[in-house]
Chain A
Amino acid sequence: MKRYGITLLCAVIVSILMAQAYQAWSETTIDLSVKTILASQKPGQSDPNLKNFTNGMKDVFGYSSYKLLSRDNLRLNQDNSGRISLPGNRSMKITSKGISGDRVTLQVEIFRDSKQIFQTVVRLLNDSEVTVGGPKHEDGNLLINIFASF
């Protein structure tokens, strides 16, 4: 009985420590999934992978097709930055400003020819997303969807 008790106690302590360690680690690390989408008036099929994304978009924007151009995954620690390439000599830089409460603060910057043309600071809930759109490309506009989980 005593041996069983010690084992149980040790298991509980280890579980708590592991949970705390995981929480501490996860509080400083975020995973980002960045989708670059071309929305255009050009008739065509929308990418089936974007079904969830385009559901609400069609009522707001008048685009007839959504095409996934690229998908990038980033893992950022606090104050770390990740950069992805965008069409049209553009790039996007995302910096994690840390997690406060139930939100992560991200600074999103868009550059064209190495010059910053847009920047925003957004605070996202876990497993939620924000979309930055507008840059013209080919016969449509770019939409950059950022999904954050931590």
Chain B
Amino acid sequence: MQGNLSHCDSELISRYYDGELGRVERSQVESHILVCSSCKKMLEDLKTISSQYGAHLARQPIGIDTRETEEHVLDRLRREETPWWAKVKETFLSKKILVSATATACVALLLITVLRVPVPDSPSAIVASVSGDVSSIIILEIPETRQTILWFNERPEGQSL
């Protein structure tokens, strides 16, 4: 594709300006610009736009004020308190609480069991009342086994009170 361009191509001119063309295409565009006032004008316009834009950027560096956004976000966070269920979840899922709860439960179960063990010194049986149609009643406790015995002598039949 040696030689001049046969027609005006704005895209090719733009790519030429951006330095994106190869050696052959660049040579073709340069030859074309020498003879085509329209494309020469297009190239000059590109240069003008580019230089003006660059000058504008240099004069006014981008400065985004983030303070307002930051305050807005912080305000919103302050207003939106953590929901109660999230606090409960956070509380109960913490490792410290879990360990404490487990230890407390174990101690509670142990106490329930221990507190139910009878006091060794108390008698195994307490006789609250005794009565009957009997001639005598004896209450005794066997020392070795601490077993309580209620012994009564029946009245002979026909001799009730």
Contact = CB atoms under 8 A, between A and B. Distances in A.
Contact of B133 (A117, A121, A122): A117
Nearest to A118: B132
B62 interface: no
B95 A134 contact: no
Contact of B150 (A19, A112, A132): A132
A5 B105 contact: no
B142 interface: yes
Interface string B93-110: 101001001100100110
Interface stretch (B14-22, B70-78, B151-159): B151-159
Contacts of B52: none
Interface string B124-156: 111111111110000010111101111111110
A130 interface: yes
B154 A57 contact: no
Nearest to B149: A131
Interface residues of B, number: 41
B148 A130 contact: yes
Nearest to A146: B125
Interface residues of A, number: 45
- A contacts with B: majority SS: strand
A19 B93 CA distance: 23
A2 B98 CA distance: 11
A121 B129 contact: yes
A43 interface: no
A132 B132 CA distance: 13
A128 B127 CA distance: 13
Interface stretch (A7-15, A28-36, A66-74, A75-83): A7-15
Contacts of A130: 124-125, 147-150
A106 B101 CA distance: 39
B128 A121 contact: yes
A136 B155 CA distance: 10
A118 B134 contact: yes
B122 interface: yes
Interface in B111-131: 112, 116, 118-119, 122, 124-131
A112 B14 CA distance: 126
Interface of B: 92-93, 95, 98, 101-102, 105, 108-109, 112, 116, 118-119, 122, 124-134, 140, 142-145, 147-155, 157, 160
Given A102-B118, A134-B152, 10 more contacts: A9-B101, A56-B142, A60-B142, A117-B133, A117-B155, A118-B152, A121-B130, A122-B126, A129-B147, A132-B151
